[in-house]
């Protein structure tokens, strides 16, 4: 809640420098392996970002070690190197570090007196971590409110992982046009401009299906039942049989394999084209006059 992974990496480097300051290692060459490139690149920056106070302390300790080496007439060249190492590659050092990190996560840590002086007091709170925690809390609050809303409950019947990035990734397919992605999203949100919905928001006078004359042109009717779109629906039925699935709203709107075929179905029906919408309105008006 108050710190970042970047800070944790810098603390690791700081602990390594603390070990190198001991008489046992002070005169020996050393390589500090770090599996976080951002932490390494921090030392080439102006060290003014949140968390960089740790990098400044590392540099102070490195300067102190170098001064001690020169004082004792050790090698004049730099004996300490920070190098990037790929994480989790079977390196003994990585494995040992991971094991110690797990122990620390369980609450087992060194006594305060064995830590560097800089780490014996609470670290400065990182503003970036506070912002991230706040954003995460807002996201969780929004998820809860969405799941409890009527539309959220309807969508959970189609995709119980909602809200998630899975659907956004599915409709971000480069083969999908923007218009098709928009219509699929509208169908999932139950905001599709079909007469059943348009009648509820008082945009049309009746909810009849303009293609077959059914009493209500709902999303389920349009996608699954309208007999006038049986030919266009046939590829969807074939794909569902191939996948061993029933052709339902959950399958069509919740399974990523159906995104492109569903877009093809919508295009083939012509229901949402400008001409199709005009025709639908004209048929609807004619049916209304006939019924009167």
Backbone angles phi, psi at 166, to 5 degrees: -60, -45
Region 119-147: what's the mean pLDDT? 90
**pLDDT, tens only, 211-225:** 999 999 999 999 999
pLDDT at 210: 93
CA 14 to CA 20: how far, in whole Å?
Answer: 10
Q: Is the pLDDT of residue 39 over 50?
A: yes
- Range 193-202 contact pairs with CB under 8 angstroms and sequence separation of 24 or more: 193/272, 193/277, 194/218, 194/219, 194/222, 194/271, 195/280, 195/284, 196/221
Token representation of residue 220: 């389920």
Region 115-133: what's the mean pLDDT? 91
User: In order of start, what are the domains of the chain with their CATH numbers?
Assistant: 5-121 (3.30.420), 157-291 (no CATH)
**pLDDT, tens only, 229-279:** 999 999 999 999 999 999 999 999 988 889 999 999 999 999 988 544 444
pLDDT at 77: 56
Q: What is the DSSP letter of 122?
A: P
**pLDDT, tens only, 77-86:** 557 888 888 7
Region 22-40: what's the mean pLDDT? 84
Phi-psi region of 85 (alpha: psi -120 to 50; beta: other; left: phi over 0): beta
pLDDT at 258: 93
pLDDT bucket at 108, cuts 50 / 70 / 90: confident
CA 74 to CA 211: how far, in whole Å?
Answer: 90
**pLDDT, tens only, 111-123:** 888 899 999 988 8
As a whole number, the mean pLDDT across the chain is 85
Cis preceding-peptide flag for 109 (omega within 30 of 0)? no
Tally of CB atoms within 10 A around 6: 21
């Amino acid at each position: 809640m108050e710190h970042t992974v970047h800070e944790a990496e810098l603390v690791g480097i700081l602990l390594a420098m603390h070990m190198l300051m001991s008489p046992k290692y002070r005169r020996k060459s050393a390589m500090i392996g770090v599996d976080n490139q951002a932490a390494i690149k921090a030392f080439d920056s102006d060290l003014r970002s949140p968390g960089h106070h740790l990098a400044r302390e590392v540099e102070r300790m490195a300067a102190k070690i170098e001064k001690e080496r020169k004082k004792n007439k050790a090698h004049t060249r730099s004996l300490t190197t920070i190098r990037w190492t790929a994480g989790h590659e079977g390196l003994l050092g990585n494995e040992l570090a991971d094991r110690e990190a797990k122990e620390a996560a369980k609450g087992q840590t060194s006594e305060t007196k064995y830590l560097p002086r800089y780490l014996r007091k609470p670290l400065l709170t990182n503003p970036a971590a506070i912002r991230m925690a706040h954003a995460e809390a807002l996201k969780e609050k929004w998820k809860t409110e969405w799941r409890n809303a009527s539309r959220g409950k309807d969508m959970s019947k189609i995709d119980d992982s909602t809200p998630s990035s899975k659907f956004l990734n599915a409709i971000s397919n480069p083969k999908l046009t923007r218009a098709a992605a928009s219509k699929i999203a509208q169908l999932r949100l139950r905001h599709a401009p079909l007469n059943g919905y348009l009648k509820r928001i008082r945009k049309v006078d009746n909810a009849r299906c303009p293609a077959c004359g059914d009493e209500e042109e709902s999303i389920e009717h349009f996608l699954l039942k309208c007999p006038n779109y049986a030919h266009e629906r046939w590829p969807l039925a074939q794909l569902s049989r191939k996948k061993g699935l029933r052709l339902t709203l959950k399958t069509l709107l919740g399974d990523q394999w159906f995104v492109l075929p569903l877009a093809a179905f919508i295009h083939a029906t012509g229901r949402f084209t400008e001409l199709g919408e005009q025709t639908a309105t004209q048929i609807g008006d004619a049916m209304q006059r006939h019924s009167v």
